[in-house]
Amino acid sequence: MRGTVIGGKKICIMAGPCSVESERQLLMTAHAVAKAGASVLRGGAFKPRTSPYEFQGLGEKGLKLLAKARKETGLAIITELLSEDHVEMVADYADILQIGARNAQNFQLLIAAAKTGKPVLLKRGLSERIEEWLLAGEYILANGNPNLLFCERGIRTFETYTRNTLDLSAVPILKKESHLPVVIDPSQGAGRSDLVVAMCKGAVAMGADALLIEVHPNPAEAWSDGAQQLTLEGFAKLMEELRPFAVAAGREI
């Protein structure tokens, strides 16, 4: 995957907008996050929205923009796969296939993703137990694909201050129960950009192998999830603030 290693000494930073919205938005973000030290660009082309009347993503046009951003910046690409019918198309463009929380137990999609041979990032379901998550991961492994990443993105709790409750204990637990890399998504976990920095520090201290962070040139005008996206400047500052915690954890960023 473009020379990127996930699970090594260097903590892998995946960053980019919630949704791919336009060439300008995506390229501006890609160059900024690459400069600040990210190695993977995230961006949704197919969006699973609670309501059919919300923006559903740019589709293949979004995938083409991601490919263009990769060509310009050298960043690897991670993007969400929603449908068995899109597996080939998405796998043609993406370096890592992301399975979202709402599809965490959509086993047919997991099998289809596994069969592409591409690395699969499997998010935890909204109220999924870790044992269920590990077993869902078995649908990837048992279908011949060893390149599996587990991504904690917050679980549903009664707390209303945050969108979800980021369960950072998933990091040491997954480290005990599997040999696979653990990714933390603080943006979905918090649903508020003002908590992302603290959550990244905690994730790094607890041993996360990678972070998946939403970054947007202008969060206030984002087409989806504006409240949880960092600005380009905010992301660059975050990278600086994380360094001492990475060092304390015996890692690099």
Name the site residues for a copy of itself (rule: CB under 8 A). 48-53, 82-85, 102-103, 105-109, 125-132, 135-136, 138-139, 142-143, 155-162, 165-169, 171-173, 176, 189-190, 194-195, 198-199, 201-207, 244-245, 247-249
For the bound state, the minimum distance from the C-beta of residue 14 to a copy of itself, rounded and expressed in Å, comes to: 20
Closest CB to a copy of itself among residues 159, 221: 159
Closest CB to a copy of itself among residues 73, 164: 164
For the bound state, the minimum distance from the C-beta of residue 23 to a copy of itself, rounded and expressed in Å, comes to: 26
For the bound state, the minimum distance from the C-beta of residue 166 to a copy of itself, rounded and expressed in Å, comes to: 6
Residue 102 burial (C-beta neighbours within 10 Å; 0-12, 13-18, 19+): middle
For the bound state, the minimum distance from the C-beta of residue 8 to a copy of itself, rounded and expressed in Å, comes to: 19
For the bound state, the minimum distance from the C-beta of residue 220 to a copy of itself, rounded and expressed in Å, comes to: 20
Closest CB to a copy of itself among residues 51, 71: 51
Closest CB to a copy of itself among residues 37, 189: 189
Q: Give the closest residue to 18 by CA, choosing from 127, 126, 124, 153.
A: 153
Closest CB to a copy of itself among residues 55, 107: 107
Residues 187, 196 contacting (CB under 8 angstroms): yes
Closest CB to a copy of itself among residues 116, 162: 162
For the bound state, the minimum distance from the C-beta of residue 11 to a copy of itself, rounded and expressed in Å, comes to: 13
Residue type, 227: A
